[in-house]
Structure 1
Amino acid sequence: MITLKKLENGFEYIEVENQSAHAKIALQGAHIFHFARHHERPILWLSQKSDFKKGVAIRGGVPICWPAFAKSNPDLPQHGFARTAMWTLGECQEIDAHTTEITLILRHNQERLKLWHYKFELCLSITISDQLTMALKTTNLDTRAMKLTQALHSYFDVGAISDVRIKGLDQKPYHDSLKDQEKVQEGDLFITKEVDVIYQKVDKRIQLITKDSILNIDNSGSSSLVVWNPWREKCKHTSGMSEGDYLQFVCIESANAREDFRIIPPGGTHILSATISKHRII
């Protein structure tokens, strides 16, 4: 079942329920803010202090950073403008009892052309089943090549950060944004302090391992991956977060960032996609 709903303040979102899972997607930002398989805890983390207001980014779920990740383009807002823009609902399909597909679309207009001087079409295709698949397709409708950085800024609910182990990054080079240093990962990644790193040459499945589950993250159209947790002090001062929220999530972001930026020629396309699947540990 696919239902268009509104909060009391008029904030619109799509609710999807099939025999495998339940999801909620805001029209603002094409932002998936809830995804859970039936009778299981949510895979995505959402802050209890999240604002569902026009022009304010939701804290949690999967914000879309586009057409710039972080402050890679100083002329744009932090993480670009797609995460707070109003998208248009495109095609919706109930493929079968267990699988639903939703497409949302964002295009250039006069306001966006003032921020970013390219004509474009951006489509997010979301497949909701016993796993979550997101495919973000950029089409360059301009007469000039465009340079793009972007991310599917996924917040994952981990229960307890002390249980987290991230596998698949051993020997991958990364940029430590906190120290502005280039390093190489040794072994699995454990989150024991503030982390803000951008990995490069990521070419295989990433696994987020917690006490009771393994989350598989399979990316395409990307060779970079961002891992972020604000930890104790920064969490206190981060909008839309409560003091202890850092203990409950980690962001693992499928990205085109730093050296993995993309150049899209006129008429060209690029698709960044991520599939999230979960296996319970018995």
Structure 2
Amino acid sequence: MAGEALTPTSYIQHHLHNLTVGHGSPWALHLDTIATSVLMGLVMVFAFWMATRNATAGVPGKWQAFVEICLEFVDRQAKDTYHGTSKLVTPIAITIFFWILLMNLIKMIPADFIAVPLEMLGVPYWKPVPTADVNATLGMSISVFFLMLFFALRAKGIGGFTKEFLTAPFGKWMMPFNLILNIVEWLSKPISLAMRLFGNMFGGEIVFLLIWVLGGAGIAGIFAGAFAGFGWMLFHLLVIPLQAFIFMMLSIVYLSLSEDAH
């Protein structure tokens, strides 16, 4: 759409359009979501590696101290929430929190700062925030769902898990109702995880684009857009880590509950 005059509506739609291969097929891939997610994952690994590369037991450097504070915070939250004995929970919590945090932080970069240079290179669309794509949030929540199954089967065994799934909470004589209730309960957890994160990030993205459009409405629009954009940016400085924290905490709660007996 380079070179075309964009209306406010078409401008917003353009920035909310994913770079897609196999569009319209069941196997369509959002290349921008995949590329940015992988990039943020590599950034997270590199940042942690830089903190451990010259780690010392004495007085730590500034970056090592910052990373240690962050890791201790997540570790404390995971241990306070999860009541089992698995050593996987803290690494899972760390991965979820910091990966989602980095993906959310891309929202602080104005969309045109990324899209316009890519358009000059021939890339027609680029939706920069992976967590504003429901496919990404569903992918993460489905991964949590399979972890829930793994934790439940490890704690109860196939027999114990099946028995509980069919007899809890109303007893064996209400088996059909138990089955329906438990299916709904298990499926609602990953869906609610995905929709909560996606809804907050997608809604925030639309508001940022609306403010950006407002900035193109003359001098008054520029000042109004700058004021509104600054206020919304400050608000999102709270929303961005909060959404990562909520996703992490709910994931750990669900893992803990999957091991508990009804």
Q: Taking structure 2 as the reference length, what is the TM-score of the superposition?
A: 0.21
> Could you say which structure has the higher helix fraction?
2
Structure of larger gyration radius: 2
Ranked by relative contact order (alpha carbons within 8 Å, sequence separation 6 or more), the top structure is 2
Q: Which has the higher strand share?
A: 1
TM-score, normalised on structure 1?
0.20
